[in-house]
Amino acid sequence: MLRKIIFNGTNVIVLSSSLLLFLSFPPAGLWPAAWIAFMPLFNAVEGRSVKQTVVLFFLCGFFFWLGAISWISAVTFIGMLLLCGYLALYFACFGLVFPLSRNMPQALAPVFLAAAWTALEYLRGMILTGFPWALLGHTQYLNLPAIQISDITGVWGVSFLIMFFNAAFYPVFSGRQPLDTAAKRVAPAIICVMAALTYGLFRLFTPPAAGDFKIALVQGNIPQKLKWAVSSRKFIVDKFLGISSEAVIKDNPDIVIWPEASFPELMGEETELYSRLRDTVREWNTPLLFGAVLREGEGYYNGAFLLSSGGEIAGEYRKIQLVPFGEFIPFRKTLGFLETVVPIGDFYPGREFKVFTAEGKGLDNAGKQHKFAVLICFEDAFPRLSRRFVRAGAGLLVNMTNDAWFGRSGASSQHLQSSVFRAVENRVWVARAANTGITAVIDSKGKIRDIVKNKRGDPLFTEGYLSVPVGGAGQGGSFYTANGDLLVYFCFMFVFAGGLWTGFLHALTRRRLK
């Protein structure tokens, strides 16, 4: 059956959906493509059995993910293929519920499909510790009017809208259903999209909270092959201190921020390099936030540490959301064999949602308490973590990361997408300090204010710093921050009710036929 499906021309239609979806994400970043990406696939499965539909959806998902996360092959090719297969299962699950929409009223079928897709994206962000990467809503990170509803619905609302539009219009675009007879199907989608854009334009007309907390974000551009080489430790510290000293002298920031694991020695040990770091911070009279690995007993933690202007530890955060198969092995007793296939660290997760505090230094800012939280690596991909931090009082989110592993792929830009949504969802500024890029500042409307770039305008594999005033003193918070994933809960209930309804109709039809 599989060969028959693939070699009868259907593959071209299915792959066109994979391609459109891939192009809507970075590195291409053609966000309008997302609004039509699923239409070829939906038309390809019309009239097919449930089994054929599931297979076609799986193939579409597999080839999309093969392009979207191809950068993982820089670390592990086999691991990338396994992950693509796993992620394609969510497409297959969507294909399993897709036929249910055929028995629904015209106005409800697109809502059902949008709800099912949104629920599956949410589950993908939870199961096996979660992988909320390349969500459908992320495609719109540069489409600022469309993403402002995230302060009510989270990123899930944008995913819902895009799928709603695809599901409503695919019969019209294929010519299966004239527009005049499809009014009940497309009108609700048009109304919802227009309402979201209107709300977005309204929010964009109100200026974001003014920034009065001056930060210096340092991008050291340390090659991955040097990161943990003992012989490179002094070079790494010298480079970060050199760039930071320039920022302190020229711009007098309230705080200097380095990327993830930027200090190349284990914390908890008083070494010569660490003593030099503390002495330099005292000379600056400026706090330093930096990433490092902490060893405590037999355990290792990926952490962020705040050195006060006096050179003393003023706070630490231990990464809560570890990277599965990167920093630990989930279900180690069952999956421990993967250590032989994928290079895996062995870290312990942190437990505390730490909010740091730093004082302002400027004339209009002296003594003012600025609260911020740190998201390490891909923790900014998890909406629930950012919500917890903002609810705990953080007015600024700092993402420390090292994306050097993945070269000049779309990984860095895809990672940036998540930070944009965390800013809008919680109406806070987000600052990103990345080892090799993209180091950026994002305001509470999701606008990327500034990026570290070289003279050619390239943000990747260049060194430099940004010195930018951002929000941080008691600012932030939204309906979404306070209430969370209400839309997702609605989606689950709608899918459950829709499944019961179609099941009831199916049983009723069979009974009548008897």
pLDDT in tens, 291-330: 999 998 888 999 999 999 999 999 999 999 988 766 766 6
Please state, in angstroms and rounded to a whole number, the distance separating the CA atoms of residues 447 and 61. 30
Q: Is 377 a catalytic residue?
A: yes
> Which of 38-47, 209-218, 299-308 is predicted least confidently?
209-218
Among candidate residues 60, 121, 214, 260, the one labeled active-site is: 260
Q: Are 305 and 318 in contact (CB under 8 A)?
A: no
Q: Are 30 and 22 in contact (CB under 8 A)?
A: no
> Is the pLDDT reported for residue 354 higher than 60?
yes
The whole-model pTM stands at 0.92
Among candidate residues 84, 93, 192, 377, the one labeled active-site is: 377
Q: What are phi and psi of 477, to 5 degrees?
A: 105, 145
Q: Are 118 and 125 in contact (CB under 8 A)?
A: no
Radius of gyration of the chain (CA): 24
Q: Is 93 a catalytic residue?
A: no
Please state, in angstroms and rounded to a whole number, the distance separating the CA atoms of residues 57 and 52. 9
Please state, in angstroms and rounded to a whole number, the distance separating the CA atoms of residues 413 and 137. 14
Task: Provide the CB-side half-sphere exposure for 435 (13 A, CA).
Answer: 25
Q: What percent of the chain has pLDDT over 90?
A: 73
Please state, in angstroms and rounded to a whole number, the distance separating the CA atoms of residues 353 and 115. 31
Among candidate residues 60, 84, 316, 319, the one labeled active-site is: 319
Q: What is the dihedral of CA 141, 147, 152, 155, to 10 degrees?
A: -40
> Is the pLDDT reported for residue 148 higher than 70?
yes
Closest by alpha carbon to 488, among 49, 47, 117? 117
Q: Please give the average per-residue pLDDT across 467-482, as a whole number.
A: 85
pLDDT per residue as tens digits for the range 108-128: 999 999 999 999 999 999 998
> 233 or 102, which is more confident?
233
The mean pLDDT of the chain is 90
pLDDT at 7: 47
Neighbours of 283 (CB within 10 A): 12
For the ranges 40-44, 160-164, 210-214, the maximum mean pLDDT occurs at 160-164
Q: Is 368 a catalytic residue?
A: no
Please state, in angstroms and rounded to a whole number, the distance separating the CA atoms of residues 438 and 155. 21
Helix (H) or strand (E) holding 162: helix 155-173
Q: Please give the average per-residue pLDDT across 464-468, as a whole number.
A: 95
